Amino acid sequence: MSEKNIEKDPSKLLKEIEKLHPSDIAHSLKKISKKKPDDFIFVLKNLPDDTLGDVILELPEKLREFAYNELSIEKLTEAVDELESDDQTDILQEIEEVNEDKAKEIFDGLEEDDQEEINWLKRYEEREAGAYMQTELFSANINETISHSIEELRIAKEEKELENIHQVYIVDDNKKLVASILLEDLIIFDYKKTYKQLIDEYEPNRFRPYKVNDDEYIKDVTKQFEKYDLSVVAVVDYKNVLMGRITSDDVLDVIEDSATEQMYQLAGVDDDFEHDSLVTTAKKRAMWLFLNLGTAILASIVIGFFDQTIQAYVALAILMPIVASMGGNAGTQTLAVMVRQMALGEIDFENSKDAIKKEVFISLFNGVLFAFLIGIIAYFWFSIPLLGVVIGLSMIINLFSAGFFGASIPLILKKYDIDPAVGSTVLLTTVTDIVGFFSFLMLAKLILL
């Protein structure tokens, strides 16, 4: 059955539920919601409890809020009960924002163990690693035999208490993390041995666990996932007590959210614009446009200083936008590279000298290249040899400033705890416009008049 037919017929979608992944179901539901909201809720109400929670989490924020309002407390309680602890916490916090009383009733309907885990996870701030961990994991005491722990894993899997298990975390009697062993390695060892005997047989680093502290910034955690190509990492407290684990799916969400936020901020757009009203969105964008208007006026004032020069050579008015545009584009390229490297933690203010030198060299190289090209074009276009010299020199100056300031501005903003993705673009555009217009018109005044 084609996806198109499923999207048109909610009954057919429900018949195919067992064959579909939650993200595929959510994709179909998004299409259904645009045509018939009632059918959207009909499908949700008839989804199996062990699927509903995962599907809701895959929906856009507006549809999740709609679902929270329309689904019964009993249905939502069953759905939340089937989720892992981190997802349970996320979905309950979202329901609290929509309907606090409903969230409380759902929470009260959960088992006591689930309630304790949710309360534990809710104490973390959004930026902390603990807010993204799940408490469900496979652990074993260092004095246990391998066979005993594997039997416990078998029981847990049968009772559907654990999912996506790839390793066993070894802890001591105080629950402190000692080691981590992949299941694919575990199956080749002697099951009669204890984990202590096994660990003692190998070099100290053989079973060294990858771990992060529960209060560590989640952005720093994502860098570890990228650096070491991890699928999961253990979370410990300040005493090295094992608290939980963070899996790659949560890290991918963090990376995607961070990249989306930076992209919107570089464009001067609030990342909540999809959920705001038209008037609110228009006001937020108007603030950035108002700031841009101010910088444009500054550039116009610079041009006004050379009105007599422009009157003497009309060709200057035709060529001016080329210099400013090339500088703006070159600066944006540098800015994008720098902001990305800063986000990845590859450079900061202290070790930025080489990065700035590299960007300035690239800009100068391109400046000379395009200065030669536009100089020839200007000469043949207007038959004024010195005009080619003027625009060529201006091109070099402006691309140099684009490279230097494109690399420096985000670093300076970061040093003063200002998000470089927010203010860099406006500041850089101001610099390249003013430098471009001023250098071009001043050189024209000195050389041509």
DSSP summary character for residue 131: G
Query: What does the DSSP assignment read for 51-97?
Result: HHHHHHHHS-HHHHHHHHHHS-HHHHHHHHHTS-HHHHHHHHHHHHH
Our CA dihedral for 318, 324, 326, 331, rounded to 10 degrees, sits at -170
Does position 384 have pLDDT exceeding 70, yes or no? yes
* CATH class, range 278-447: mainly alpha
Range list of β-strands (E), 148-304? 167-171, 177-182, 211-213, 232-236, 242-247
Q: What is the pLDDT of residues 31-90, one digit of tens each?
A: 888 888 888 899 999 999 889 999 999 998 889 999 999 999 999 999 999 999 999 999
CA dihedral 319, 321, 326, 329 (to 10 degrees): -170
Domain with CATH 3.10.580.10 in the chain: 139-247
Nearest 10 degrees: Cα torsion 283, 285, 286, 291: 140
Q: Tell me which CATH homologous superfamily contains domain 3-123.
A: MgtE N-terminal domain-like (1.25.60.10)
Mean pLDDT of the chain: 87
How crowded is residue 84: how many other Cβ atoms within 10 Å of its Cβ?
19
Region 196-215 average pLDDT: 91
Range(s) for CATH 1.10.357.20 in the chain? 278-447
Place of tokens 């609290």: 96
Helices (H), 174-247: 183-186, 195-201, 218-228
Tell me the pLDDT band of 178, cut-offs 50, 70 and 90.
Answer: very high
Helix (H), strand (E) counts: the chain:
21, 6
- Residues, the chain: 449
5, amino acid identity: N
Compute the C-alpha angle 66/69/75, nearest 5°: 110
- Per-residue pLDDT tens digits for 345-357: 678 777 788 889 9
SS (H, E, C) 136-159: CCCEEECCCEHHHHHHHHHHHHHC
Q: Do 22 and 51 touch, CB atoms closer than 8 A? A: yes
Query: CA-CA distance, 134 to 244, in Å (whole number)?
Result: 5
pTM exceeds 0.75, yes or no: no
Q: How far apart are CA 421 and CA 99, in angstroms?
A: 34
In angstroms, the Cα distances linking 293 to 48, 132, 176, 299 are 54, 41, 58, 10
CA-CA distance, 35 to 23, in Å (whole number)?
19
Single out the residue of 105, 136, 99, 106 nearest to residue 121, CA to CA: 136
pLDDT of residue 197 exceeding 90: yes
In this structure, what token pair is assigned to residue 204?
């100290």
pLDDT at residue 2, as a whole number:
46
Q: Which of 61-70, 102-111, 195-204, 339-348 has the lowest mean pLDDT?
A: 339-348
Every domain of the chain with CATH number 1.25.60.10 lies at 3-123
- Distance CA(271)–CA(255), nearest Å, equals 15
Predicted confidence band at 1 (pLDDT cuts at 50, 70, 90)? very low
What fold, for 139-247? CBS-domain (3.10.580)
pLDDT exceeds 90 at position 289 = no
Tell me what pLDDT residue 141 has. 96
Query: How far, in Å, CA of 439 to CA of 449, rounded?
Result: 15
Cα(223)–Cα(209) distance, integer angstroms: 17
Question: What are φ and ψ of residue 209, in 5° steps?
Answer: -85, 145
pLDDT in tens, 244-273: 999 988 888 887 777 666 666 655 555 554
Give the pLDDT of residue 72.
Answer: 93
User: Which of 287-296, 326-335, 369-378 comes out lowest in average pLDDT?
Assistant: 287-296
DSSP code, position 50 = H
Is there a contact between 162 and 156 (Cβ–Cβ < 8 Å)?
yes
Q: What is the rounded distance in angstroms from the CA atom of residue 391 to the CA atom of residue 387?
A: 6
